[in-house]
Amino acid sequence: RTFLQVIGRVTLITIVGSGGLFYYVAQKDRTPGEQLPHDPTKKTLVVLGSGWGATSLLQKLDTTDYNVVVISPRNYFLFTPLLPSVAVGTLSPHSIIQPTRYITRHKDRTVSVIEAAATDVDPIAQTVTFADESEIQGLISSTTLKYDYLVYAVGAETQTFNIPGVKEHACFMKELEDAEKTHTRFLDCLESAAFPGQSEEEKNRLLHMVVVGGGPTGIELSGEIHDYLEEDLRSWYPELSNNIKISLVEALPSVLPMFSKKLIDYTESTFKEANIDILTKTMVKEIKEKSIVVQGPDGVKREVPCGMVVWAAGNTLRKVTKDLIAKLPEHQTNRRGIAVDDHLRMAGTNGTVFALGDCTATSYAPTAQVAAQQGSYLARVFKQIAKRDALVYELQALENAGSLDEEKQKQKADLTKQVEKSDKVKPFKYSHQGSLAYIGSEKAIADLPFSVGNLAVGGVATYLFWRSAYLSRLFSLRNRTLVATDWVKVKLFGRDVSRE
Ligand code: FAD
Ligand code: NAI
């Protein structure tokens, strides 16, 4: 009995203790303290974007060294790896976003956060022009700001290849609104198919969901739609569940070219079991209101009726990035993106513009992993630049003081040495942590690099690893709690099928 009492007490103390700690951390997050104001003697560091690259920089940046201004059309960070889960209602949209102010308000010096899109960057005059493009605007909605340093992290947009009908009729899977729109449209197709008197042919059309692009975005989304169908829609729309069909169209000979062959085969067989049709070597040529035109390996064009198309065919540069590249024709010749050196300095800008993430043309894949590591790297670079600037300032003050005695001469030599040392900034080095993707049916695939070789695994255990990996990578306790709670809610009550 005594033993049980001890166990009971220890358990109780542990529960109360962790509850108290959780409450303390959450409250600390909610109540940011006083911040130093902007300092006119400090240099202005403008950060464009609030995605993976910019947010990772802001988290690590020592803001006492600069007057930092963040400009982005969305005032939050979006955790893109879990976006497909929002498209089927597994996760609530707010669970995977984090307001940028939740980070900047905890910094030592005030960081200005401006919800606006950069419309023009002048790398010679060192200015950025930005505009409030939201629905509601004040009397001033566009202005220009001068920067000493610019971090350019505006990401990319979805590539449409100017294929007719894509912009008009397809949903995308890039921004939060895209996932919400996909969810709504999916349910709209279901309800229209459930309308009394609908013919079998029309039901089949409305419930044919086509995903274009066999990259990780298209694969993960197809897997999530399949789960939605199996775990929820079969119960709530039993009369329609056999009409639902998912097709994945990919122009290349196989899906997921960045994964190892074993995992590609595993994904294809999992999709086959799940009745998801994979059409490889098939190019989408046009999207119409009620159909999609594809060209298969035989070269013949076919029109396939469908209710919804989600376009996940890769990335292209934003207009503002193309314009910036065009301003430096001698140095910027890569049409894939901004050319940077191995310190992420944009070629032709004399070290005043740093670019990272999906808007750059490097040897790395356009992934969150790369952008996040580049952001952390730049935070270290800016610390070193600030240190160097302070040393140069001290050196100049010494030189301006006139003739130097022996001690001052020694001090000057010492400072010069320190400046030379701080000039040597280590280049960016990417450390690949592996590739992970969810493929539906509670299975995931992982290509993990180890010193002895690559480990390629797939299945239910990998799915649990996928979940825990992304849960731990979410930037805040708040998001981790929200995502974990959503997962529990779905396990207990299923996904919602109401159309908002
Ligand atoms: P982003 O994160 O896209 O951020 C760009 C920022 O710039 C945004 O805040 C945007 O609002 C802002 N912006 C846009 N226009 C302007 C403008 N004119 N002025 C100022 N700011 C602007 N990668 C992985 O490694 N693992 C994954 O599991 C993974 N899953 C993904 C799932 C999906 C559905 C998608 C779409 C992508 C996924 N990626 C994943 C890729 C990853 O999201 C990108 O590589 C990453 O977001 C790139 O970071 P970034 O900072 O360059 O751009
Ligand atoms: P992607 O570029 O990887 O794949 C797009 C696919 O669409 C390509 O395979 C292309 O051949 C195909 N395509 C293009 N036009 C087509 C057409 N007209 N008809 C048929 N198919 C067509 O794009 P995705 O999946 O959006 O990924 C973008 C980046 O984000 C990649 O670097 C990827 O690695 C990363 N990402 C990583 C994830 C992960 O690690 N789990 C998840 C999602 C994205």
Q: How far apart are CA 253 and CA 283, in angstroms?
A: 11
> What is the Å distance from ligand 2's center to 159 Cα?
10
Using the predicted structure, report yes or no on whether residue 404 has a pLDDT greater than 80.
no
Position of tokens 């960045």?
A: 258
Which amino acid is it at 420? E
pLDDT of residue 4 exceeding 90, the answer is no
Q: What is the pLDDT of residue 333?
A: 96
How many Å apart are CA 471 and CA 492, to the nearest integer?
19
- Given a cut of 80, is residue 396 above it in pLDDT? yes
Query: Beta strands of 268-358 (E only): which ranges?
Result: 276-279, 283-287, 291-295, 301-305, 308-311, 315-316, 353-355
Reported as a pLDDT band with limits 50, 70 and 90, residue 2 is: confident
**What pLDDT digit, counting tens, does each position of 12-39 carry?**
999 999 999 888 888 888 889 999 999 9
pLDDT digits (tens, 9 = 90+) for 414-432: 999 999 988 888 999 999 9
* 226-258 per-position pLDDT tens digit: 999 999 999 999 999 999 999 999 999 999 999
pLDDT of residue 107: 97
Contact 433 CB / ligand 2 (< 6 Å): no
DSSP sequence for 94-122 = GGGEEETHHHHTTSSB-EEEEE-EEEEEE
Q: What are the distances in angstroms from CA 148 to CA 58, 345, 350, 355, 356?
A: 17, 13, 11, 14, 17
Residue 422 confidence (pLDDT): 86
Q: Which residue has the tokens 């580049």?
A: 374
pLDDT at 341: 97
pLDDT, position 451: 83
Helix (H, G, I), strand (E, B) or coil at 54: helix
**Phi, psi angle pair for 127, to nearest 5°:** -130, 155
| Distance in angstroms (rounded) separating the CA atoms of residues 1 and 201 | 69
223 pLDDT above the threshold of 80: yes
Average pLDDT over residues 337-342: 98
213 Cα to the center of ligand 1, angstroms: 18
User: Which residues partner with 151 through β-bridges?
Assistant: 47, 354
Work out the average pLDDT over 448-454: 89
Least confident range from 322-326, 409-413, 457-461: namely: 409-413
Verify whether ligand 1 is closer than 6 Å to residue 355 (CB atom): no
Question: By C-alpha distance, which of 470, 482, 456, 462 is closest to 372?
Answer: 470
DSSP 314-340: -EE--HHHHHHHHT-TTT---TTSB-B
Give bridge partners of residue 109 from the DSSP assignment.
36
Does 375 contact ligand 2 (Cβ within 6 A)?
no
Strands (DSSP E) along 79-213, which ranges? 97-99, 111-115, 117-122, 127-131, 142-146, 149-152, 157-158, 171-172, 208-212
pLDDT at residue number 148: 98
The pLDDT of residue 29: 83
Q: What number is the ipTM of this complex?
A: 0.98
The half-sphere exposure of 81 on its side-chain side, counting CA atoms within 13 A, is 22
pLDDT band for position 155 (cuts 50, 70, 90): very high
Nearest to 499 by CA among 184, 225, 86, 93: 184
pLDDT classification of 453: cutoffs 50, 70, 90: confident
Q: Enter the DSSP assignment of 481.
A: H
Mean per-residue pLDDT of the chain: 96
Shortest-distance Cα residue to atom 31 of ligand 2: 366
Centre of ligand 1 to C-alpha 404, Å, is: 53
52 lines ligand 1 (CB under 6 A): yes
- Average of pLDDT values for 52-59? 98
pLDDT attached to residue 49: 98
pLDDT in tens, 286-333: 999 999 999 999 999 999 999 999 999 999 999 999 999 999 999 999
| pLDDT confidence bin for 10, thresholds 50/70/90 | very high
Q: Rounded to whole angstroms, how far apart are CA atoms 133 and 153?
A: 18
Q: What is the pLDDT of residue 177?
A: 97
